[in-house]
Every structure is written in structure tokens, then in C-alpha cells.
Structure 1
């Protein structure tokens, strides 16, 4: 590991310092697009951000801006809006890689950075969910069944994320150490829950509530809507709402049945 930080690091030096095994092997914190290609691309953008003088928090604010814009783009009921949310969700995820890399390079990791990072993810995922109701309605309105469905979906997506974050809050208040981000801790200890978790892995509908997956589903529905006049987006919203109810209940049971609170 480098002991000094050169002013103009190479990509190899950035990878050595900012992408240690502890980052690349995290079970719950690394999204599949990060594993697949974003971590290969992120050092190039991180080097640009470092040379431009960006702090880690400044990069996170850029990520939050992308999150806000992705929700706005989702609510624009056109194919262009759907393409926009896919692009913005990818950029948000790329910046999410970069802010941690900038922090590790500058050695400025902090609770403030973690907090802002969480704000970005909540904004993107809950915002896209709510805006999907606007999209299904055909535009913004004071009230409609689709607007209400989007608001309900946003609430459920928020609850699903809160169930994760409350694990860390609860462990802190109980005086426990930080939970290791490994798969063995997440596996339910009881037989029925373990079986249900294996079944969920075969049909991982609970994973669709990340901004990346939601953006791709919005785009797929928008393409189908070119032929069915908006019905695909409405079906998507109702399907996600039903899936969110099951996910929130199942997630709560999985947390309580695993070693995460022990």
C-alpha cells in the first residue's frame, strides 16, 4: 500500500489505494454494476475529480444532484425521460464509486460522507418510485390513483432501506461492534426463513428497488408503451407495489432471523 499520495496518481496507484479487497468483496454494499464494470471505469473519473480539486463530499453532492435529476426524468412521461433516468442512474452509481475513492485517496473518510451518501441513495430510489406514479398518470397532478400508488411505492422503498440502516443504528445503541459485511451474517438461522431466502434468490424481485434496476424497468415499460399507450408503465407500478409489500415484510423477517442483531 502506498504511504505517500502523489499529486498526479496513475490508475494503478489509484486502484491500489482506493479499491482494496475490503471494498471489492463487500457482500451488501457493492452493486452488481460496480462489480461488472463501474469499478473498472471509476478510477479514470476519480483521477479527473482529484486533479480538479474536488473533495469527497463535493463528489457526493454531485451524486445527490444526479439522484434528484433521475427522479425528475422518471416523471417525464416520454421515451426520452426513460432514457434519461437510465443514464442518470448509471452516472449516480459511478459517482457513488468515485466519492469513496476520493475519500480513501485524500484520507478524508468521515461520518458526514457516509450520511450524505445515504441521502443520495434515498433520494434516487424513493424519488424514482414516487415519480413512477407521475409517469403512470401521464404527468403531475394534485391527486389521482396513480399518484397515490407512486407515493405508496416510495414509502415502501423507504421502509425497505430503513430496515437495513436500523440494523447499524440498533447495534450502535446496544454497544455492539460494526457488523461485518459478509454473506454468512445475512443468512437467516431458522430453516423456514433460510428456505424462503433461497427461493427469493431464484426469483430476486426484491432487488428491483435499486435505482439501476428501477431505471431499466422504466425504460423497458416506456418502450412497450409506444405500442400500448401507457398501460405498461401502469402495470409496472402495480407490480412493483405488490412486490414492495412482500419485500418489506420478508426483509423484516430476514433481519430478525439472522445474526445481524446478535
Structure 2
């Protein structure tokens, strides 16, 4: 009888303790849920902005150096000389003002104007630039013999003009005298081809002649890029040139 009473009391006490424990846990659930699984209080939130929401954070502004834009400069205009600018009406050619030049050892011809080679000596360049001023002069028999500056030129007068502005001749010579000018043979920069009745010269690779082989007539002093038959001509050259 006593043992049965003891077992009954133990079961009753255990049941009563379980009831109190469950009641205590039920009372703590809202607080635990509010704190989250790590015991940190959770804040309510909403996908929609509320009227009392605080001001938004301003974006961070970073200062940096920005160079000022420079206006684009216009391209530098190249100086282009018209062909007529090479013509001169003064007593002597203004060879110091118009100096067309090309790189290398040989002159080239563009629109009737000779470009002196950059490797040529200065006196050869001067001769080429001086002859450029004659390119529109007519053929005149005996022209260029009374004076280096004349209205027109014949063949030996034109060659004498070139030699004079190269610093290699003091007075004009006729074709017969040019056959004995300087030294025999071809020169490095100037070769004079003479025979009785006609003279022409090769200067830095270009032919100075008063005869147009295509038209077959005397037209006056002109530059030509092609050669001509030298049969019957005596080649001469200034000493050293």
C-alpha cells in the first residue's frame, strides 16, 4: 500500500512539472522569434516606402582631375608656289626667292619647271633655278649674246646663260666657241654638246635645249626629261663639274 502511494505521487509530480515546463516555453516563443536564431533583435521591414522613412543616403562624390579640353588646331597650310611666280621681269632672275628642290642627285621636271637635286652643289642649283625663268622666252637668233638678260635666246645663248649663273662663264659664247669650252668629255653635273649650228646641255640629268624634238622646231629655252641623239656633237664640261 505504501509503495503504491509513493509511485502515484512520483507520477503526479512528474506530470505537474511537465505542464509547467510547457507553459513556460509557450510564453517565451514570441520573444525568441523576435530575437531570431542568434538572439539578435529583428527589425520589421516593408517592400513599400513608409511616410516616416528617413532620408536616403547621398551618393559618394569623388574628386578627380579632369584636364581641360584643348581646341583642335587647324592644319598648317603648306606653301604652294604657282608656276607663274617663277617668272621674273627684273633685269636678272631672282633665283634666291624661288628654289624648287628634290631629294637626290638628279633633277626632275614638273610642268616645265626643273627641281634642283638636293645633293647638287649650290652653283648647279643656281643654274637650274635661273634657267627656270627662261621657260617662256621665245627663240631668237642671236638672243642672249649681247646680254645675259634678253627678250629671247638661241641655243648657245641659253647654254651661256646657264653657265653664267653657275659662276662658270663671264661672257656669252657662240656654238663654235663652246665646242672648245672647258674640258673634253662628259661632266659630273654639266655636259655641253656642241657642233656647228647647235648647242644643248645636260644639267643634273635634264636637257636644256631650244629645239623641241617632237615638233621639230626651235621654240626657245626649255627643259626636257628625255635625251637626244648626240652623234656629231662634241661633249665638253666645265673643269671640276
TM-score scaled by structure 1? 0.22
Q: Tell me which of the two structures has the higher relative contact order, counting C-alpha pairs closer than 8 angstroms and 6 or more residues apart.
A: 1
More helix by share: 1
More strand by share: 2
TM-score by length of 2: 0.24
